[in-house]
Amino acid sequence: MVSRWFQKNIYVLFLLPGLILYTVFMVYPLTSALGFSLFSWEGLVRGAYCGLDNFRTVLRQAPYNIRFCNALKHNTVFFLITFALQSTLGLFLAVLFTRQRRGYGLLQTLFFLPYTLSMVIVGFLWLLLLNPTWGAFNKALQLVGLGHWAQPWLGQTETALYTVIMVNAWRWLGFPILVFKAGLQGISEEYHEAARVDGANGWQVFQYITLPLVMPTIGMVTILTFIWIFNTFELVFVMQGSSGNPYYATDILGTFFYRTAFGDSTTGGEPGQIGIASAIAILMFLIVAFVSYFGVRMTRQNEVEY
């Protein structure tokens, strides 16, 4: 009886390892964080049940509410700039690489190569390149006559966040290019030929044929980008440290969670607030889940078929 059941449901055996890993590393930590957020903590010792008090602290009590809003704003700016770059430069390069030209394959590989690197490696690499004293980036600016542009990119409030965003874009851009190219190659050439026969120029073909048909791919990449950005931690942590630069110019939800959970008195409260940090983690999850759900719905509603 059991063997007959397995013969009909053999796919369960293939899904089981992934399901176990997902449960251990995703479901269990999330449910644990939800439980931790409902209790007060004294260091690593769980105290009494406090209901939603930790959430009220994060959203209403200074300085946590100020830090939370600041980190949320930085995550939003992080996403918007990344989205703008991948939707313009990324899509442009993907359209370019769909053409069979000599050298385009090498260029595509070069753009995708940084995506294969660990975020920690990328962070330390750019820390060396952006060093204000002997970093190669400022030295290169001086060599091409732009020495007046050289500055401590990570050491000042005005440029720190945008510098980290550009480094992240350098590492991330290869992924949307690859996905956009796959989506473009899935569009039948007959549509383009029919539009040209009707007298459409290159821009009109892209605007009325290519772009509507590739919108589902753009929507999917946008949702993945949002999830990625709102879970970002390693790059900011490596390039700015756990406490960030002055005035927390690069503080995001991930680093704010870390500092609150693992001890940094610069949050304005006592270090090691496990309950408050767990509340921050749950709020991060709710933001990602809410936006992702409505993003998927909008993507499906805007699908175009010819």
- Which pLDDT score, from 0 to 100, does residue 206 have? 86
CA 84, CA 82: separation in Å to the nearest integer?
Answer: 5
- Based on DSSP, count helices (H) and strands (E) in the chain, helices before strands: 17, 2
Does residue 164 sit within a domain? yes
Domain-located, residue 34: no
What is the residue whose two structure tokens read 């105290």?
47
- The secondary structure of the chain in percent helix, strand, coil, rounded to multiples of 5, reads 75, 5, 25
8 Å CB contact between 57 and 75? no
Predicted TM-score (pTM) of the model is 0.86
Domain harbouring 91, CATH code: 1.10.3720.10
DSSP string, 56-71: HHHHHSTTHHHHHHHH
**What is the predicted pLDDT for the residue at 30?**
84
Residue 18 located in a structural domain: no
pLDDT at position 56 is 93
Residue 11 is assigned to a structural domain of this protein: no
Looking at the 3D structure of the chain, how many domains does it have? 1
Nearest to 244 by CA among 127, 167, 160, 151: 160
- Structural domain boundaries, residue 62: 52-301
- Note down pLDDT in tens along the chain; length 306 residues: 556 666 667 777 788 888 899 888 888 888 888 888 888 887 777 788 888 899 999 999 888 899 999 999 999 999 999 999 988 899 999 988 888 778 888 888 899 999 999 999 999 999 999 988 888 998 998 888 888 888 888 888 888 899 999 999 999 999 999 999 988 888 888 888 888 888 888 888 888 888 888 888 899 999 999 999 999 999 998 887 644 454 478 889 998 998 888 866 444 445 568 889 999 999 999 999 999 999 888 887 766 665
In 61-103, where does DSSP find H-type helix? 64-85, 91-97
Judge whether 226 lies within some domain: yes
What local confidence, expressed as pLDDT, does residue 132 receive?
85
Residue bearing tokens 């090691």: 272
Q: Give the pair of three-digit tokens for residue 213.
A: 């048909």
- The per-residue pLDDT for 242 is 46
The DSSP call for residue 103 is: T
Q: What's the one-letter identity of residue 233? A: F
In a domain, 38, yes or no: no
Asked whether residue 21 is assigned to any structural domain, the reply reads: no
Q: Considering the domain boundaries, does residue 39 fall inside one?
A: no
Helical (H) or strand (E) element with 42: strand 39-42
